[in-house]
Structure 1
Amino acid sequence: MSETRPPLPPFTRETAIQKVRAAEDAWNRCDPERVALAYTEDSRWRNRAEFLVGRAAIVAFLTRKWAHERDYRLIKGLWAFNENRIAVRFAYEWHDESGQWFRAYGNENWAFDEAGLMRERHASINNLPIAASDRLFHWPRPGARPADHPGLSDLGL
């Protein structure tokens, strides 16, 4: 039996939004092994200037990422979709070991196989140092963003 990760392509606006929210919820749990299951065994990533291939590399990357990016909270929003591709914009907040807070802004382009697993992820991300008082993402961690928490556009991001 092959792995599937609904919703499956071709995407509609509704299923693309579901896919984006599922990805956001998974990343907010900060569980590298669980997140990696949404990607093909040979998934190819470009994350900033880092290039990864395969689930083991994804797990290692996310483990390192979330050890450094503490109290991570992410919001993703659908930008565009077509057939088996989705483009998202996102922002996330985190702090480093010294307590300095950051908001990262970025865009991702995703391509999926017929089973709904992501086979390509291209991410461009910029970090902006912020004061703790400027944080906008407030919900218990780890865990999904509550349904009533504002999205990116509602927050002016």
Structure 2
Amino acid sequence: MRASLEAHLGSRQVGKVVYGSIIGLALVVTLEKHPPAPWVMAVWLLGTALAVGLAEVYSEVVGVETSTRQPVSRPQFGHMAEDAVAVGFGVAFPAVFFLLSALGLFEVDTAFTIAKWTGLGLIGFYGYWAARFAGAATHHALLKGALVALIGAGLIALKALVH
């Protein structure tokens, strides 16, 4: 398990998962005040993950083809698809909690709470490990993880101010 986690943390998909997690967290926070049925929320997260993943690929293809004046190669497209899957995973991850709620395992309010806190936790987790892999001491890495988690906390605070 540790080796696969270290391999993942050393991959370029980490940034894409974080990016997708922030998008998923934004959707969760936006819809919490007037929550849809849990299965609807799960479908919206999955649909958003698909749309953002496709947008990721499309924007990369356009960027490469306009800057290089050449079509995207198969290996380039493969890397783009891997990145899109990572973004989509980050967006879609909270859908699990809404599917569990739809199955009656807990209330939809609980699904929103778990989705928010796991989103913040994931963003902070990746921030911590980014700092550690860059050579930061543990206490500095913890501070960095907490600071990047404030991105999500700021989103939650903004939602609280608006409602």
What's the TM-score bracket when you normalise by the shorter of the two chains? under 0.3
Specify which structure has the higher proportion of helix. Answer: 2
Q: TM-score, normalised by structure 1?
A: 0.27
Q: Which has the higher contact order (CA 8 A, sep 6+)?
A: 2
Decide which structure has the larger Cα Rg and report it. 2
Specify which structure has the higher proportion of strand. Answer: 1
